[in-house]
Amino acid sequence: MKDDIYWSSIDLYPLQSEEHNRIAPFYQHLRENRFTTTRCTRCGAEPWPPRVVCPECMSDQLEWIDLPVTGVLDTFTIEEVGVPLGFERPLVHGLVKINDRLTLFSRIVDAKLEELKEGMTVTLKVIPIPRDRVIYAFTPA
Amino acid sequence: MRKVAVIAGAMNKWGERQATFRDMIAEAGKLCFDSCEGLRPKDVDGLLLSTAFVEKNQFQTHGAPLAAELLGIKPTNLIGKVELLCASGTTAIHLAYTHIACGYSDVVMVVGVDKLFLPDKRETIWNLQASCDRDFDCIHGLGVPPPLFAMMAKKHMKAYGTTEKQMAAVAVKNHRNGSKNKYAQFQNVITMEEALNARVIVNPLRLYDCCPVTDGAAAVVLACEERAKEFTRDPVYILSIAQANTHKNSANMPSLTTWEHVVIAAPKAYARAGITAKDVDVAEIHDCFTISEIIETEDLGFCKKGEGGAFVEEGQSDFGGTVVVNPSGGLLTCGHPFGATGERQAQEIFHQLRGDAPNQVPGAKIGLQHTMSGFCSDCSLTIYGRI
């Protein structure tokens, strides 16, 4: 394969721009350090992850709402073996409780392992990735 | 609805194989035909292939016609591929069962395969990241997830006092069972000390708490009662099937310590079969990690909630106990080529109920198969019986 060819089928990360993805605003919000999902304007459901159709009532009239950008580290674990290519080892995985309804599995970055504690506050960390895209993780506050 | 029987079943040699997935379909298919005297490819009118990774790892789509061609089967009633990650095979068995029960097919081979050892080991680990919610979970480096089961173990320990020693007891039992299975990936017996002192994979999970990466295939043949009796005097009947799915994204899993899909599906499977959990003599359940077997024995109703650790520690899931769990050695020692595990469990139960398994549970009459898949998303149950 030529070096200048990009094939999305072997890319770990999704295409994020409006040209390719109808939830492109989620990624735009991340760039503004906002963590968002969609709310159904008909029934009020706030599913995670964001949608283009409400899974509760099938409405497609959705609006973007902000979720908290800080959360509580409920549990964490440290992966020593089998860390995928492109991720640093050890890889810290956390369950981050961001509100009463939503606990997210997330990578915990920029953390000193000895300082990690259940119950500590963590905050959103937006990370640039190739092809002008972003992903999110959480980091100790 | 017609009664449906298993009339043949086999697995090939599992492990790091010097063979393609095509080779392994042929191996398992041959052994499956060999397990039922008189059964030939021309007798089979349907074929389902189950595989989770052949599209990613071997760049092959539309695999079912390939499997049929490799095995000399020319389906006239049913052909297709089934994917539900780790439960692909069990789901394929359920669909073949339903097709036969409805009268649309008479004799269906269900063959499962996956080849996970590639020249660069990082490739399968990379492709595993296609298995969770790719856009929202896999971006964190989550694949088929030891980290999830590590979290489950931590939470189960906190909620119920489950110990690392109890988890290790699962590994010790299943390695002892697997040592009698020549088709399993590992035949090594391990001690409690070895299990407890093995290297950490994802804390608190150590090496023997985790199933390995595996190449393998397995196959079973299902038939309507009338055709089954042409080929065998002692068919093993499928008494019931049940499934439930609760989520895909990690955030939508109802509980890490009680698997709601099992709680939903197990009572249905027992009721449909006209049995209770107490009637199960032998069970092949999804021990992808030691903690999984502990939680499953609870949620399947083999023991009370929270007592899964003590259940295995006291030998209740071993020979001479309440129910023999994973006499084949389970995923921990057979290995886990995702798309083939369902057929592998099914053929073990088939042989157990016929009384010719290598590690035979004496007098087993009722067998249960449980398969879980993905981010602990779902549960697929099959109950088999000699009736």
Q: Establish how many alpha carbons lie within 13 A of residue A46's alpha carbon, considering only the half-sphere containing its beta carbon.
A: 10
Reported in sequence order, the residue ranges of chain B that DSSP labels E, i.e. its strands, are 4-11, 46-50, 78-82, 107-115, 200-202, 205-206, 215-224, 236-245, 282-284, 324-325, 366-373, 378-385
Query: How many cross-chain Cβ pairs, A to B, lie less than 8 Å apart?
Result: 87
Q: Does residue B292 contact residue B324 with C-beta atoms inside 8 Å?
A: no
Helical residues (DSSP H) of A50-89, grouped into ranges: none
Residue A106's contacts (CB-CB under 8 Å, 6 or more residues apart) are A93, A94, A95, A96, A136, A137, A138, B140
Q: Which positions 211-270 of B are in contact with A (Cβ < 8 Å)?
A: 249-252
All residues of chain A having their beta carbon less than 8 Å from the beta carbon of residue B122 are 84-85
Rounded to whole angstroms, the maximal C-alpha distance in chain A is 49
Structure tokens, B378: 């779902």
What distance in Å separates the CA atoms of residue B376 and residue B132, rounded to the nearest whole number? 10
DSSP summary character for residue B165: H
Phi/psi at A50 (5° precision):
-60, 155
DSSP summary character for residue B234: S
All residues of chain B having their beta carbon less than 8 Å from the beta carbon of residue A13 are 139
In tens digits, chain B (387 residues) has pLDDT values of 999 999 999 999 999 999 999 999 999 999 999 999 999 999 999 999 999 999 999 999 999 999 999 999 999 999 999 999 999 999 999 999 999 999 999 999 999 999 999 999 889 988 988 999 999 999 998 877 788 999 999 999 999 999 999 999 999 999 999 999 999 999 999 999 999 999 999 899 999 999 999 999 999 999 999 999 999 988 999 999 999 999 999 999 999 999 999 999 999 999 999 999 999 999 999 999 999 999 999 999 999 999 999 999 999 999 999 999 999 999 999 999 999 999 999 999 999 999 999 999 999 999 999 999 999 999 999 999 997
All residues of chain B having their beta carbon less than 8 Å from the beta carbon of residue A137 are 140
Of all residues in chain B, the one with the smallest CA distance to A134 is B139
Q: Is B336 a known active-site residue?
A: yes
Cβ within 8 Å, pair A48-B200: no
Give me the catalytic one of B32, B36, B86, B288: B86
Structure tokens, B133: 């919610």
DSSP summary character for residue A68: P
B114 touching chain A per CB within 8 A: no
- Calculate the alpha carbon distances from A32 to A48, A69, A127, B142, B272 in Å: 19, 11, 12, 25, 54
Q: Would you tell me how many other CB atoms lie within 10 Å of the CB of residue B203? A: 16
Dihedral sign computed on CA atoms, order A36, A39, A41, A44: negative
| Beta bridge partner(s), residue B385 | B237, B366
> For residue A97, which amino acid is it?
K
All residues of chain B having their beta carbon less than 8 Å from the beta carbon of residue A104 are 250-251
Q: Does residue B91 contact residue B245 with C-beta atoms inside 8 Å?
A: no
Q: Does residue A141 contact residue A70 with C-beta atoms inside 8 Å?
A: yes
Q: Does residue B25 contact residue B248 with C-beta atoms inside 8 Å?
A: no
* H or E segment to which residue B379 belongs: strand B378-385
Of all residues in chain B, the one with the smallest CA distance to A78 is B202
Residue B34's contacts (CB-CB under 8 Å, 6 or more residues apart) are B10
B201 touching chain A per CB within 8 A: yes
The interface predicted TM-score of the complex, written ipTM, equals 0.95
Shortest CA gap A4–chain B (Å): 21
| Beta bridge partner(s), residue B113 | B217
Structure tokens, B36: 């039922």
Residue A58's contacts (CB-CB under 8 Å, 6 or more residues apart) are none
Shortest CA gap B202–chain A (Å): 4
Q: Is B86 a known active-site residue?
A: yes
